[in-house]
Amino acid sequence: MKKNIVLFILFILPIVAYLFFASGINSFTKLPIITHKVADLGNWKSLKNEKVSLNNKITILGFSGSNLLKNRGNFFNLNQKIYQQYHDFKDLQFVVICPIGTENDAKAIIDAFTQFTDVSKWYFVFATPDQINAYYSQLQLKGKLDQYAGTSDVYIVDKERNLRGRKAKKGYKEGYDTFHPSELSNEMLDDFKVILYEYRAALKKNHNATKEL
C-alpha cells in the first residue's frame, strides 16, 4: 500500500497537475472581443492639452461623469488595485473621458495621486456630454451612462482598439465596477493578466521568428 502511494506521488500526481495547469492556460490565453475596432478619441485634449490615442496601447477606459470628485473613491480603487501594479508596462494607459467643465476636478484627483503614484499613465480627456454619449453608444454595450454622462465601470481596450471582456452566465461581462475593490482585485486583475500574457506571448513568438530568419 505504501509503495503504491509513493509511486502515485512520484509519477501520477505530477502528470495530473501538469494537465490541470496546462488546460487552465489554454482556456485563458485569449480574452473574448466584445466590440471590434472602437473609435479613437479624435481631437479631444487631455489636462496637458495633449491628444490621446487608443492606437497601439492597452487602455483601461473610463467615463467619469460630471460628479468627478464625488466618485473619486472609484479612481482610488482602480489606482490601488490595478494601476499601481502595472503602470511600468510601457504600452499601458488609463484614459478617463470627462465632461468639459470638470478640468479642475480632474486636476485635483491627479494632484492627490501624485503624492504616492507616478501618474504619467493617467489621462483625463474632455468632451461635451453629447459627444461622450455618442462615443459610448458606439461601444455597443448593454450598460448605459448615467444622467451625468458617467459610469463606475471601466473597460479593457487592446492595442487594436478591440474592447475585451470575459464570458459570463448571460453573454459577456463587458466592464469592471470600480466601486467594488473585490471585483477589481479578482475579475479585472485576472482578465488584465490575460491581456498582458497575450502580448508577451506574441512578442516572444515574433522574437523567435526573427531569430529563425
Question: Which residue from 174, 105, 108, 166 is spatially nearest to 139, judged by alpha carbons?
Answer: 174
Which residue carries 478617463 as its cell?
A: 96
For position 170, what pLDDT does the model report?
73
Q: Whole-angstrom Cα distance, residue 9 to residue 191? A: 33
pTM of the model: 0.82
For position 26, what pLDDT does the model report?
35
For position 9, what pLDDT does the model report?
59
For position 25, what pLDDT does the model report?
40
**C-alpha to C-alpha distances, 194 to 23, 28, 38, 61, 127, nearest whole angstrom:** 14, 6, 20, 17, 31
192 with 59: CB under 8 angstroms? no
Q: Which three cell numbers stand for residue 127?
A: 468632451
DSSP classification of residue 9:
I
* Contact residues for 164 (Cβ-Cβ < 8 A; gap 6+): 31, 32, 33, 34, 156, 157, 158, 191, 195
176 with 94: CB under 8 angstroms? no
pLDDT digits (tens, 9 = 90+) for 21-31: 444 443 445 89
Residues in the chain with pLDDT values less than 70? 1-29, 202-213
For position 5, what pLDDT does the model report?
58
Maximum distance among all Cα pairs of the chain, rounded to whole angstroms: 76
